[in-house]
C-alpha cells in the first residue's frame, strides 16, 4: 500500500493483512455492533467552534496524568494479545509510545511479559488489571507491575462476564498455539482456546471474579501503593461512588463496545461523569477516537486525556514499532492542528464552548 496518511489507511491495511481470527477479534464489538458504530458517530455529531485572531505561533500540547507529564494527551489503551498483529507485539508498542512521550497501558492479557515491556522502554506505563477468583494471581500481577516501574493500576470493572461477540463465537476464537498469555503460568497462560464458542469467553467465565463489589477497592488499596484508575464507568452514579472510595482516576469506557451492546458512546456520557466527580479525580476517555479532533472534543468536554486502542493494533500490523510510531505521530499532528485552528496555544485553552452538538446548528 502507499504511505498511510490517516488512521483509516492503517485500518484498511490491517483488514487485508491480518488473519481472520485476529482481525475479527480486534475489530468486532458486542452483538450487532450498535455501540461500536455509535462510538464513532457520536464524535461526528459534535461540531467545533473555533476562535480566530489568537496568537498560536507556539503550541504546547503537554499535560499531566496522575502527576506524570506527557507530551500530548493521547495515550495508548490496553489491548490484548498484540503478537497476533506483529511478532514484536507489546514490546514494539512500548518502544513507540516511549519515543512519542505519552503513556502506554499494558493489558493483563499481553503476549509479552511485564518485565520485557518495562525493559523495552523507560516511558510512562500503566498496568491494566482484571481481578481473579484467585486473589494470589491478582496480587502476583500487581507485584510484577510494581517491580517493573509501572505508575498506576487501571482496573477493568465492566467485565464480570465477557460480552457476546458473534465473530469470536463463529471463529471459535483461540489464542494461536505459538503464543501464550505471557504473565501467567499453567492453564492461565494457555487457556484461551476452544472447540466450541469463544475461547476467551470460557477463560473469563472460569477465572474472572464476577462477585466483585465496591468493597474490593479498600482491599486493593491494602495491597498496593500504586494509584488506581477504574476503567469502564459509564454513568454519574458510579462516578460518584468512585470518588467516595478515593479512586485516583476514571477511564470512561465501554470496553471498545465489546461488552454490552446499545450502551451509550463514551463521548456522550463524558460530561455527566465530569460533572459528577467535580474535580475530585481525573477523568479520561476511550472508545472511537480516530482523529486528533476527537481528542480535542473530549478535552473540551472535560477529559484529561484520551486513550486509543485499535489504531495501535493497526499500526502494529502495518510496520510493528514503526507503524505504531506513525499512528501516534498522525494523532499528534492532527491534535496540534486542531488546537491551532481553534485558537488554542495550550491544552488549558481548550474550553467547553468550543464544542457543540450538531442539533444546535440544525435549529438555526
Nearest Cα neighbor of 81 from 115, 108, 104, 102 is: 108
Q: Is residue 121 part of a domain?
A: yes
Q: Is 50 among the annotated ligand-binding positions?
A: no
Residue of 13, 86, 178, 255 marked active site: 255
Q: Is 289 among the annotated ligand-binding positions?
A: yes
* Tally: H helices and E strands in the chain: 15, 12
| Residue 255 annotated to the active site | yes
- Going from the C-alpha of 359 to that of each of 38, 44, 45, 86, the distances in angstroms are 16, 12, 8, 42
Q: Is 86 among the annotated ligand-binding positions?
A: no
Residue 64 grid cell: 499531566
pLDDT attached to residue 2: 84
Q: Is 340 among the annotated ligand-binding positions?
A: no
Residues 287, 231: contact at Cβ < 8 Å?
no
Q: Is residue 252 part of a domain?
A: yes
Q: Is residue 158 part of a domain?
A: yes
Residues whose CB is less than 8 angstroms from the CB of residue 157 and which lie 6 or more positions away in sequence, other chains included: 212, 230, 231, 232, 233
> What would the DSSP string read from start to end of 324-356?
HHHHHHHHHHHHHHHHHHHT-SBGGG--GGGEE
Nearest Cα neighbor of 60 from 112, 101, 13, 92 is: 101
pLDDT attached to residue 37: 98
Q: Is residue 362 part of a domain?
A: no
Q: Is 26 among the annotated ligand-binding positions?
A: no
Q: Is residue 149 part of a domain?
A: yes
Domain that holds residue 34: 7-349
Residues 128, 154: contact at Cβ < 8 Å?
yes
CATH number of the domain within which 148 lies: 3.20.20.70
The tally of domains found in the chain comes to: 1
Q: Is 156 among the annotated ligand-binding positions?
A: yes
Residues 320, 89: contact at Cβ < 8 Å?
no
Contacts 24+ apart (CB under 8 A), 141-149: 141/108, 141/114, 141/183, 142/223, 142/224, 142/226, 144/114, 144/115, 144/183, 145/106, 145/114, 145/226, 146/224, 146/225, 146/226, 147/115, 148/114, 148/115, 148/117, 148/118, 149/118, 149/122, 149/125
Residue corresponding to grid cell 477516537: 289
- Walk along the chain (364 residues) and give the pLDDT tens digit of each residue: 689 999 999 999 999 999 999 999 999 999 999 999 999 999 999 999 999 999 999 999 999 999 999 999 999 999 999 999 999 999 999 999 999 999 999 999 999 999 999 999 999 999 999 999 999 999 999 999 999 999 999 999 999 999 999 999 999 998 898 999 999 887 676 666 666 667 677 777 788 899 999 999 999 999 999 999 999 999 999 999 999 999 999 999 999 999 999 999 999 999 999 999 999 999 999 999 999 999 999 999 999 999 999 999 999 999 999 999 999 999 999 999 999 999 999 999 999 999 999 887 666 5
Rounded to an integer, what distance in angstroms lies between the CA atom of residue 1 and that of residue 261? 34
Q: Is residue 355 part of a domain?
A: no
Q: Is residue 100 part of a domain?
A: yes
Q: Is 186 among the annotated ligand-binding positions?
A: no
Q: Is residue 71 part of a domain?
A: yes
Amino acid at each position: 500500500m502507499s504511505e498511510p496518511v490517516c488512521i483509516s489507511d492503517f485500518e484498511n491495511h490491517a483488514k487485508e493483512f491480518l488473519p481472520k481470527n485476529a482481525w475479527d477479534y480486534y475489530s468486532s464489538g458486542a452483538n450487532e455492533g450498535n455501540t461500536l458504530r455509535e462510538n464513532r458517530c457520536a464524535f461526528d455529531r459534535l461540531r467545533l467552534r473555533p476562535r480566530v485572531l489568537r496568537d498560536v505561533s507556539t503550541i504546547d500540547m503537554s499535560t499531566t496524568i496522575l502527576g506524570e507529564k506527557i507530551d500530548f494527551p493521547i495515550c495508548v489503551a490496553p489491548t490484548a494479545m498484540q503478537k497476533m498483529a506483529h511478532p514484536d507485539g507489546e514490546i514494539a508498542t512500548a518502544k513507540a509510545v516511549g519515543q512519542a512521550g505519552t503513556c502506554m497501558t499494558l493489558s493483563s492479557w499481553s503476549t509479552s511479559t511485564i518485565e520485557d515491556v518495562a525493559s523495552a522502554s523507560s516511558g510512562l506505563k500503566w498496568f491494566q488489571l482484571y481481578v481473579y477468583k484467585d486473589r494470589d494471581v491478582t496480587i502476583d500481577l500487581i507485584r510484577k507491575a510494581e517491580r517493573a516501574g509501572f505508575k498506576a493500576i487501571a482496573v477493568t470493572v465492566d467485565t464480570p462476564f465477557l460480552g457476546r461477540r458473534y465473530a469470536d463465537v463463529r471463529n471459535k476464537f483461540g489464542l494461536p498455539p505459538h503464543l501464550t498469555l505471557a504473565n501467567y503460568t499453567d492453564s492461565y497462560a494457555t487457556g484461551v482456546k476452544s472447540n466450541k464458542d469463544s475461547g476467551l469467553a470460557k477463560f473469563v467465565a472460569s477465572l474472572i471474579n464476577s462477585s466483585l463489589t465496591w468493597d474490593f477497592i479498600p482491599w486493593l488499596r491494602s495491597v498496593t501503593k500504586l494509584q488506581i484508575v477504574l476503567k469502564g464507568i459509564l454513568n454519574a452514579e458510579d462516578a460518584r461512588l468512585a470518588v467516595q472510595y478515593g479512586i485516583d482516576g476514571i477511564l470512561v469506557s465501554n470496553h471498545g463496545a465489546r461488552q454490552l451492546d446499545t450502551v451509550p458512546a463514551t463521548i456522550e456520557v463524558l460530561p455527566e461523569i465530569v460533572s459528577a466527580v467535580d474535580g475530585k479525580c481525573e477523568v479520561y476517555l476511550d472508545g472511537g477516537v480516530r482523529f486528533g479532533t476527537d481528542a480535542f472534543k473530549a478535552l473540551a468536554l472535560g477529559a484529561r486525556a484520551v486513550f486509543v486502542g485499535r489504531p495501535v493494533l493497526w499500526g502494529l500490523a502495518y510496520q510493528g514499532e514503526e507503524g505504531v510510531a506513525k499512528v501516534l505521530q498522525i494523532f499528534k499532528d492532527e491534535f496540534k492542528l486542531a488546537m491551532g485552528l481553534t485558537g488554542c496555544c495550550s491544552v488549558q485553552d481548550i474550553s467547553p464552548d468550543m464544542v457543540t452538538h450538531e442539533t444546535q446548528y440544525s435549529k438555526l
